[in-house]
Amino acid sequence: MYLEKNILERLTSFRDADYKIESIHLFRDISQDDREHIAHIIKDCAVVKAGSGQVVLDANSSGARLYIVLKGALAITTPNPENKHQENASTQYLAGECVGEISVLDEEIHSATISAIADSELLVIEAETLWKLIDESNGVARNLLQLLSFRIRAANAQIRNRQKVGEFYRQLSMVDGLTGLHNRAWLNTQLPSMIETAHATGNPLSIIMVDLDHFKQFNDEYGHVLGDDALQTAAKVLNAGLRPTDFAARYGGEEMIVILPNTNQRSALIVAERLCSRLQKTRVFADMQKALPHVTASFGLATLQEGQDGSAVIAMADSALYRAKQAGRNQVAI
């Protein structure tokens, strides 16, 4: 970076508005006497010129100085994953703003790379001089606190946004891409807490295992594309037949599972029989010239017993599902 001296004359010159003290955020709303004192303190500070694209601070440099943008603009830059020779710019610093103040105060290395995004002129204030400004000017100390407060609020906002994005993708990862139901990962995460709640409150909880009948044969005869359509249709039937407090998940392959909190065996049996009947009556391929059989399913019902965990109640439902298949399929067994 090109170095230029004699900042005092330029800062106090009314002919050069870009270099007036009051145009610098750190020195705003300060009395005339204070400005003159500030000008005296920084009289030996240098002005450096940085060309567009030139790095001013990198992530490994120590926090020994503060940079105030007098002309031009700086920005935090990060590597572009699509082109290693280019960088992405964010969080711009325009004329009057400063960078590096946090690293000066905590004496840690900089956490990001800051580059000029236009030909820029920067006032460089060494750490010792900045501390002298803070000690001898209440106005500078106040403005610095306001600046740090803004930085903290902006950082918190970024963290909240990242958390929201992270939660969005976490939720997305809990959904089965084909059926739109919850997936096995969701089940493994949520079912234990539901069972714990049921045991703690003494409320019933029932599980229904659902397996589409002869689905392998269906896939072999009509193809996996139509098989996927059948799975999607079955999932819609299940979802449409549940209360907002109930849950449906894809357990694996053509198997699905329904969780009914606060539901005893008698009420769960009514739900399972309703779902079985609705699925049997649903047309899957309305536009097919060749007649297709209705897709049916077998249902195995289990209600949580005292001391049982998720694996135990699912095993009970799976045994009931096996009995429904043995009895001829397209029915509910307990």
- DSSP-based three-state secondary structure for 289: coil
Query: Which residues, 6 or more positions from 334, have their beta carbon under 8 angstroms from its beta carbon?
Result: 265, 269, 301, 302, 320
Angle between helices 138-172 and 127-136 (to 10 degrees): 120
Q: Are 110 and 58 in contact (CB under 8 A)?
A: yes
> Residues 6 or more apart from 252 whose CB is under 8 A from it?
184
Whether 254 sits among the annotated catalytic residues: the reply is yes
Distance CA 178, CA 46 (A): 63
Say if CB 182 and CB 175 are below 8 A apart: yes
Of the residues 87, 101, 121, 254, only one is catalytic, namely 254
Cβ atoms of 38 and 8 closer than 8 Å: no
Q: Cα-flanking dihedrals φ and ψ of residue 118, to 5°?
A: -160, 160
The residues pairing with 94 across neighbouring beta strands, listed in sequence order, are 73
Task: State the DSSP string of 147-173.
Answer: HHHHHHHHHHHHHHHHHHHHHHHHHHT
How is residue 268 written in tokens? 């769960």
237 by DSSP, 3-state: which?
helix
Which of the residues are catalytic? 254
